Amino acid sequence: MRYLFLHGVLAALPLSASAFPHVAEGVATRLTSASPRRSEKRTVTFDPAAQLVDVTSEHAFVPPNFAAGDQRGPCPGLNALANHNYLPHNGVAACTDITNQTVSVYGLGADITSFLAIYGAIFDGNILSLDPGYSIGGPSSVYQDILSGLGLLGTPQGLSGSQKKHESDASACRGDLYTSGNDYKVDINRFNEIYALQSNDASPSYDLDVWTGHRKERFLKSKNENPEFFYAPFAGVIASTGDFTFPPRMFSNKSAAYPDNGILDKDILKSFFSINGTDDNLVYTEGYERIPANFYKRAIGNEYTIPLFMEDPFSFASKFPEMFSMGGNTGESRQLRRARSGELDGRDLQLCGSAGGEQSLVFCVPGLVGCGSGCPEGWLQ
Ligand code: HEM
């Protein structure tokens, strides 16, 4: 199987470049030579009463009942919301609920969450509904009833079935579909890799620097070990950035001492990634992502919005410009191939559903609107 590779198009970000071959280097240079806005002091005030996340009574932790059809998938943030009844416990949620709850529980910006929720409904759920939404795990029988779907776009696959559209290779702690056979459960080896980066530290804190190092290692390992490695325009370059910035920005516990970035220690990390056990014997239980007790979210008014999200690539770019590449291996590990601008012709930008194979579809939406990496499932059937 042969893939086409496009080097560093960030069309959905305000970083787009005019010539493709050296975009990654160019973007990285521009990012690292500019001054990050985070260095400008922002005043963030800690308000314990407003920031404490309720994990008692109706929001007490209840694990999923998979036998009864509950869905959990690749996103620890959404899995935890369903386990605490901030989203429906069955794991099938409306966009409006996903948007409201990610803002109110974690302090995610309304701009980011609205985009993610609608993107999810289009590519992983059922947008043709009075109440569009999607499963945070795999396909669910409650779709048609709850979301009033007409079935015109085929059976929605949910986030777990969103490979290349939403879910990517080189994830933070999930496996690559081709090499692991599963891309939505935690791969304990990958979790061990990030965990080990602070395990001997006197005061472990998994901050953005730590996640940046992990991202670099994850990308290089996938590129070197997965012959079918693919880093899609949206799922890879953009959405995958969230895999590595959301934990330090939103899983970290805020306090009067650390009102802005908080501290993400070992126990909190394990709790959000559904891990128990001691340092030398970490154990994963599928679907048990849990918001810890005494967890304080981001300060009100300091939500993680697109402008803040856009600052974080400074950290990645300085240490790892290759994160701005998109493309994949050509059937052999380490054979990363990138596209030149001339290769983006009609063959690769053909309309969804035409006979070029799924890989060419990777470029149909991003090529036209620059924000996706595939088509709603029904368009492919
Ligand atoms: C707003 C709606 C959201 C949607 C639709 C969404 C969707 C996803 C998807 C599809 C993945 C898999 C990406 C990949 O394979 O690389 C993912 C991963 C992830 N998400 Fe979310 N997410 C949302 C919100 C959040 C929030 C609010 C948080 C944290 C507070 C979060 C934290 C994460 C993390 C840490 C990962 C990486 C998991 C891993 O690699 O083990 N997400 N999310």
Ranking 23-27, 109-113, 135-139, 188-192 by mean pLDDT, the lowest is 23-27
Model-wide pTM > 0.95? no
72 vs 320: CA distance, rounded Å: 31
* Mean pLDDT along residues 328-348: 53
* Mean pLDDT along residues 282-301: 98
Determine the atom of ligand 1 nearest the C-alpha atom of 273: 41
Residue of 187 and 123 predicted with greater confidence: 187
Does the beta carbon of 106 sit less than 6 angstroms from any atom of ligand 1? Answer: yes
Contacts of residue 124, defined as CB under 8 A and 6 or more positions apart, other chains included, come to 134, 135, 156, 157, 158, 159, 161, 162, 165, 166, 377
- 300-335 pLDDT, tens digit each: 999 999 999 988 877 777 777 777 777 778 776 666
Q: What is the DSSP string of 83-152?
A: HTTSS-TTSEEEHHHHHHHIIIII-B-HHHHHHHHHHHHHHTSBSSSSS-EEESSS--TTHHHHS---ST
Query: 278: part of which helix (H) or strand (E)?
Result: strand 275-278
* Mean pLDDT along residues 65-74: 96
Residue of 91 and 158 predicted with greater confidence: 91
Query: If you take atom 8 of ligand 1, which residue's CA is the nearest one?
Result: 75
Does 96 score more than 70 pLDDT? Answer: yes
Q: What's the confidence (pLDDT) of residue 337?
A: 59
Does 78 score more than 60 pLDDT? Answer: yes
Give the chain's radius of gyration (CA, Å): 20
149 vs 233: CA distance, rounded Å: 28
Does 231 score more than 60 pLDDT? Answer: yes
Confidence band, pLDDT 50/70/90 cuts, at residue 137? very high
**Choice from 53, 72, 75, 221 to test ligand 1 binding pocket (greatest atom count within 8 A of CB):** 75
Confidence band, pLDDT 50/70/90 cuts, at residue 28? very low
CATH class of 51-338: mainly alpha
Contacts of residue 178, defined as CB under 8 A and 6 or more positions apart, other chains included, come to 169, 226, 227, 228, 229
Distance of CA 26 from the midpoint of ligand 1 (Å): 28
Mean pLDDT value across the chain: 76
Does 64 score more than 80 pLDDT? Answer: yes
Distance of CA 74 from the midpoint of ligand 1 (Å): 7
Q: What are the residue boundaries of the structural domains of the chain, listed by start?
A: 1-35, 51-338
Does the beta carbon of 102 sit less than 6 angstroms from any atom of ligand 1? Answer: yes
Among candidate residues 167, 170, 244, 168, the one with its CA nearest the CA of residue 208? 244
Residue of 122 and 172 predicted with greater confidence: 172
Does 144 score more than 90 pLDDT? Answer: no
For tokens 């994949």, name the residue: 328
Does the beta carbon of 269 sit less than 6 angstroms from any atom of ligand 1? Answer: no
176 vs 182: CA distance, rounded Å: 7
Determine the atom of ligand 1 nearest the C-alpha atom of 120: 5
Query: If you take atom 29 of ligand 1, which residue's CA is the nearest one?
Result: 77
If DSSP codes are grouped into helix, strand and coil, which group holds residue 160? helix
